Structure 1
Amino acid sequence: MNAPVVIEGIAYWSRGLPSWAAARDHVHGAAMADDAPARPSPQLLPANERRRAPETVAVALDVALAACQAAGRDPATLASVFASAHGDLAITDYMCATLAGDPRSVSPTRFHNSVHNAAAGYWTIGAGCMRAATAISAAQASFAQGLIEAMAQLDDGAEAVLLVGYDGESAGPLAAVTPSGGLLGGALVLSRTSRAGAPRLRAQLRDGQADRGGTLSRLTQANAMAPMLPLFDALAGAGGVVRLAAGAGRVLELDIGHG
């Protein structure tokens, strides 16, 4: 993973910071928006689907499209990697509780949205994308493992890859296994194509401890996808070296430069 990866597009969403521009400005001292929406409204979906989609799908699709637009890439042309700790934890809790207590009353819509690749499926349908879509779950290491997968696809010949990290609230007994609060999404469009001024990453797996991050990490630290935030903090600031949780005792060390 020593060849540099170019970040063509960046997107972000959390409550109070509904865009990458808002998140970047907040890192540099700007206030959060008082009138920011409580949940995203992904324009890729028809209005009815937009209302029915769970929050996790909504935030994943919102940042995915924003990253593609920032990169100037057609979403239909990109392979994608969607990473979340364990999918939609609130829906999973509902499914487990309902199957245990009254299995005949399971909601078909919630069952449909309970699978881990729900966001990836909505994305490929909404974007009309026939390229490979991968869903990754690796608890706190999910984003780092998703980044490794995206880089591997670039090494295998993909022109560009969309990486999306997202998670929502956990509920019930699962909250003790994977605590998660709030709603968070971040996305990157990655390629090997040099772009003037674009951030570049060099990655290396090492033993060590993950960084704690800065402003964005502190703001949304309760979310299960918060381990990705040291990278977004660094991208909003001066760059440098960032270490993301990649597994037990392991980190993905990212050296951030600019073209």
Structure 2
Amino acid sequence: MTRFYIEGVGLCGPGLDGWEASVPVLTGQVDYTPEPTNVPACARLPANERRRAPKTAKLALAVSTEACAGAGRDPAELPAIFTSSGGDGETINDILNILASSQRELSPTKFHNSVHNAPAGYWSIATGARAASTSLCAHDDSFAAGLLEAVTQMATTGQAVALIAYDVPYPAPLYAARPVGAVFGVALVLSPAPSAPSFARLELALQPGGDTPSSAAPTLEALRQTTPAARSLPLLTALAGGTATGVTLDYLSDMVLKLNITPRPPAGWPEPLA
């Protein structure tokens, strides 16, 4: 198993307005109310870029900003993994409508927003980041693919990494072919060694499939099943609960990710680590 640590979390989804506000919901202390997702504006982006940014970029920046703040990390110094099951369907739909019309002049802004790594570009503008970024897509398993990539990079570089997963629903008629349930984003700041902000230790193993993936709380299970980025909910629930537990995430058709979660001991992480 590969060991790593969670330093910060960012969360934005329907009725989930930030990590701290969502912890009581994830732990069942407060009833879940699935209100429309409120994506806050990113003050780091210059005004022109804020106007041009697609919803995927705004969502990615909202959750990554929260996670980096919780970790006490400067986002400009963090390598970042961006993962989404389908990117910005709204922009793709707009482009297809333009191309199907008699007026086929395509906006350069629409074009550059359509590429899968557009949120990574807005991240670099907003934060001044010069570290490497990676943009992934693995259909319904995009969160698990992003987590596996982030852990692999940590293991090979010894550096902390930001993992940013996000999805937005496609408009009609694309929604009929690829239904995504809700606007949902999550970010994790992961580190290969414990630090002052580290509040949980995780051990990850990629194993042959066969095990049933972990479910979310009954009120959140529909969100987990219909929104690929929300496949993170069992992990987020375990982190919010603050108890030692295990989580299984499905990955592709024949594998699973096994995660063992250990909360930080009251006295802190032991030195040296066992």
Relative to the length of structure 1, the TM-score reads 0.90
CA distance in 2, matches of 1:43, 1:239: 37
Residue aligning to 1:11 = 10
Equivalent AA in structure 1 for residue 263 of structure 2: H
Residue aligning to 2:253 = 248
> For 1:162, what is the secondary structure of its paired residue?
strand
> For 1:242, what is the secondary structure of its paired residue?
strand
**How far 1:174 moved relative to its partner?**
3.2
Determine if contact 2:14/2:34 at 8 Å carries over to the other structure: no
**How far 1:99 moved relative to its partner?**
2.1
Change (3 A) 1:59 1:219: farther
| Structure 2: gaps (5+ residues) | 265-274
Tell me whether 1:41 sits opposite 2:41 in the alignment. Answer: yes
CA distance in 1, matches of 2:34, 2:245: 31
Residues 29-38 or 188-197, more deviating = 29-38
Find runs of 4+ consecutive structure 1 residues off by over 4 angstroms.
Answer: 31-37
Tell me whether 1:225 sits opposite 2:229 in the alignment. Answer: yes
**How far 1:32 moved relative to its partner?**
5.9
| Structure 1: gaps (5+ residues) | none
Residue aligning to 1:60 = 60
CA distance in 2, matches of 1:77, 1:216: 37
**How far 1:227 moved relative to its partner?**
1.5
CA distance in 2, matches of 1:216, 1:225: 17
Task: Kindly report which structure 2 residues correspond to 1:142-221, keeping only aligned pairs within 5 A, or say none.
Answer: 142-195=142-195, 198-206=199-207, 207-208=209-210, 209-214=212-217, 217-218=220-221, 220-221=223-224
Equivalent AA in structure 1 for residue 10 of structure 2: A
Indicate the structure (1 or 2) with the bigger Cα radius of gyration. 2
> For 2:12, what is the secondary structure of its paired residue?
strand
Determine if contact 2:32/2:219 at 8 Å carries over to the other structure: no
Residues 104-113 or 133-142, more deviating = 104-113
CA distance in 2, matches of 1:218, 1:115: 30
> For 2:203, what is the secondary structure of its paired residue?
strand
Change (3 A) 1:31 1:42: farther
> For 1:90, what is the secondary structure of its paired residue?
helix
Relative to the length of structure 2, the TM-score reads 0.86
**How far 1:170 moved relative to its partner?**
1.1
Residue by residue over 1:76-127, the C-alpha shift from the partner in whole angstroms, topping out at 9 and shown as x without a partner, is: 1100000000111222222233223346232332222111001111001211
**How far 1:258 moved relative to its partner?**
2.3
CA distance in 1, matches of 2:110, 2:21: 32
**How far 1:56 moved relative to its partner?**
1.4
Residues 98-107 or 53-62, more deviating = 98-107
Equivalent AA in structure 2 for residue 4 of structure 1: R
RMSD of equivalent CA atoms: 2.3
Change (3 A) 1:160 1:243: same
